Amino acid sequence: MKVCIAEKPSVAKDIAEVLGAKQRKDGYYEGNGYQVTWTFGHFCTLKEPHDYHERWKSWRLEDLPMIPANFGIKLIDNPGALKQFGVIENLVKNSEEVINCGDAGQEGELIQRWVLLKAKCAVPVKRLWISSLTEQAIREGFEKLKESEQYNNLYAAGSARAIGDWLLGMNATRLFTKKFGQGKVVLSIGRVQTPTLAVIVQRQKEINAFVSEEYWELKTIYRETEFTATIDRIKKAEKAEKGLIYLKEHPFEITSFERKEGKEGNPRIFDLTSLQVESNKKYGYSAEDTLKHIQNLYEKKFVTYPRVDTTYLSEDLHPKIAGILQDLKPYSNLTAPLLEKPIPMSKTVFDDKKVTDHHAIIPTGVFPNHISIDEKRIYDLIVRRFIAAFYPECKVSNTTVLGKVGQVEFKATGKQILEPGWREVYANDASAKKEAAEEEKLMPEFVVGESGPHEPRIHQGKTSPPKAFTEATLLRAMETAGKMVEDEEMRELLKDNGIGRPSTRANIIETLFKRKYIEKKKKNLFATQTGIDLIDTIQNELLKSAELTGNWERKLRLIEKGEYSMETFKQELIQMVVDLTKEVLSNRGGMISISQEVPAVIEKEEKVKKEPKPKEPKEEISIETLKCPKCKEHLLKKGKTAYGCGNFQVCGFKIPFELMGKKLTDKHVYDLLSKGKTGKIKGLLIPGSEAPIDARLVMGGDFNIGVE
């Protein structure tokens, strides 16, 4: 018998149907020389710390770092999984050949290899590698089965990822929790999670620190067209008023008129991240919801494999495109113009060099029935983007007009859509219509040298803070290692250095919500105080740098390509964990608390079982056990009116018991020393301020105390 192992029962059923294995048994299908069985998710996982050493069961700083001599795997403790594994083990033992039909990606390869390893598989293994679950795709896949060895590098990359996440997640989480966690709080640290949080915290700090400033601009209307002065924004109203008087004394003169025809390239076919971005923008769906809907569509055979990071199609798909377009009957008004002539073999769509494990997400041609409204919306996004890729480019006319009033130069720009091209696909889309209308601005014909009366005015505005992240903009930032990049080509180049993988980013964002590190207000994401405190406590840049994490991700991809050693990657991470442990143990940062207890936390880019943690007595605040923050040599002492440095005569550092009309508690003093600021204090009397205010006390870089 040949034993096929699929990633879930529904896929096993589809495969069994195609292979003619129609006899249903307990945990598998049989027939026509095949036995088709299944896993359901992760049957195996890396061993937990206590599986290596009993003493690692307790969370103790003196046991860190935990570095097993060899990493082992174990079956998860789940009755259903254990029973099904028994079925797989028995089938594999009596088979002549195993066909790995797992999810065709890095995680799917890892899941299946671990199961086969645990089942002590000793027979030859083949690999089914398909991009959709249609009958035709399954049939073609079995006609072209691959050798399992072809995917050894993919498995190595998956193993390196899992081991890397274990080393950092297990050690850093225990390290920071025991060193800085207050009460029952668990401080979760992860290879992908922490830099993602750092990106959000950094943006939050920029928003919090932003001070809005008023500015004034000079504008004028000439021949029903608004022009803006090209001088720097004016910072004072009086100067703007003087400028307006000057403008009224002179006529408007056209100095340049230029109209250029250009093209707007077609939008790219979706990869998973760009689909999540679009569905968040258009429908407000979270990344996790989008992944769930697209996964359902894939399993129902309506779209191709979704967990992809490329926007290109493989060249061998070109002959099939017309057939897929033909099958999209409800979209026939859009596909008909394309089917009148051959589909062009465009390099912006078909490029084998840009395709990784799978091609971009496209419809299979099987049209959906009985799907939810959410799945319909996602399906419509995919189909329209697929159709738009084969339409002509959109032709536009861009106009730039320069003018002057006296010595002050002005500029106006306009845009006109000459031939809509791919925009036709979105002609009935309300949001696309609105966007096009906002972009399009018709300009009259101007002649250089013409002049005449105009209507000058002053526009008053305020500078805006940086925008808070939405899930859409955060996904883009994760994809490009924290850099906000609009250009499609540049984004493609940066993908190898992204934070996490397309398939795990949604889970990372959800993890940050669950652990109360971030929260959502309308569509915007904000870091909580706990999230901010955690990032502020982490001194090690490696842990929170998006760029460095992106570099690890690049190395994992190189392992996948056979261009980097898994062992080297592992040794680099071990060294990092050793250095990190030494660094944190010598750090005297403040304690971090949280409003609610959060689930425990080891990040392996998937859910991990919580380990029991011994209860800790509540820690008392003792100021006199802390070192002076200024000289960093002497302990603090309590005087009659203030806490001060033990060597006050030389150092001069002190914090008075009473500041700005308020008596400070030991907690206030402790927060100032450990975090650099207190919580909000009501009724502070600020010199020069008439009424009391509510504010935080903040210790500046010069060790003087101010307010925030």
Report the catalytic residues: 305
User: How far is the C-alpha of 222 from the C-alpha of 453, rounded, in Å?
Assistant: 7
Q: Is the bond leading into 612 cis (omega within 30 degrees of zero)?
A: no
User: How far is the C-alpha of 19 from the C-alpha of 200, rounded, in Å?
Assistant: 49
Query: Is residue 514 classed as helix, strand or coil in its secondary structure?
Result: helix
Helix axes 193-209, 502-514, angle to 10 degrees: 60
User: How far is the C-alpha of 544 from the C-alpha of 549, rounded, in Å?
Assistant: 8
Helix axes 152-180, 566-585, angle to 10 degrees: 0
User: How far is the C-alpha of 456 from the C-alpha of 408, rounded, in Å?
Assistant: 12
Tokens representing 697? 């006390």
Tokens representing 3? 């034993």
List the alpha helices (DSSP H) in 284-429.
287-299, 318-327, 332-339, 373-388
Type of residue found at 521: K
What single DSSP character describes residue 55?
A: G
Q: Write down the residue that tokens 């013409």 correspond to.
A: 450
Question: Contact at 8 Å (CB) between 406 and 247?
Answer: yes
Residue 348 has phi, psi (to 5 degrees) of -75, -10
- Choose among 343, 340, 327: nearest CA to 136: 327
User: How far is the C-alpha of 30 from the C-alpha of 91, rounded, in Å?
Assistant: 11
Cα dihedral across residues 561, 562, 567, 569: positive or negative: negative
Type of residue found at 102: G
User: How far is the C-alpha of 474 from the C-alpha of 468, rounded, in Å?
Assistant: 9
Which residue(s) pair with 301 in the sheet? none
